[in-house]
């Protein structure tokens, strides 16, 4: 009876992610889209909305750092 190696069981999406770095590409596209829309809307936003958006971006960066440090 032949056994199947763990590498053969890996999904197509898993292989694609490893070879193309799909997660990094999707993150880059997402961040670029956010920055583009953020800059286009900045002039029409009120002061409170601007402060809230900047605080949320800062919180996202801090949270990402903590998740990398404490894994």
Residue 64 forms part of a structural domain: yes
Nearest to 28 by CA among 39, 36, 16, 18: 36
pLDDT of residue 50: 87
For residue 54, give the H/E element and its range. Answer: helix 47-69
Number of domains forming the structure of the chain? 1
Residue 2 forms part of a structural domain: no
Instruction: Give residue 8's pLDDT band: very low, low, confident or very high (50, 70, 90).
Output: low
Instruction: Answer left, alpha or beta for residue 58, where phi above 0 means left and psi between -120 and 50 means alpha.
Output: alpha
Residue 50 forms part of a structural domain: yes
Residue 5 forms part of a structural domain: no
- pTM given for the model: 0.48
Whole-angstrom distance, CA of residue 42 vs CA of residue 57: 14
User: What's the chain's average pLDDT?
Assistant: 79
Whole-angstrom distance, CA of residue 56 vs CA of residue 49: 10
């Amino acid at each position: 009876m032949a056994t199947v190696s763990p590498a053969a069981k890996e999904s197509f999406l898993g292989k694609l992610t490893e070879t193309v770095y799909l997660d990094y590409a999707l993150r880059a596209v997402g961040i670029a889209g956010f920055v583009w829309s953020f800059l286009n809307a900045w002039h029409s936003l009120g002061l409170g909305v601007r402060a809230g958006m900047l605080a949320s971006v800062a919180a996202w960066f801090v949270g990402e750092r903590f998740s990398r440090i404490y894994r």
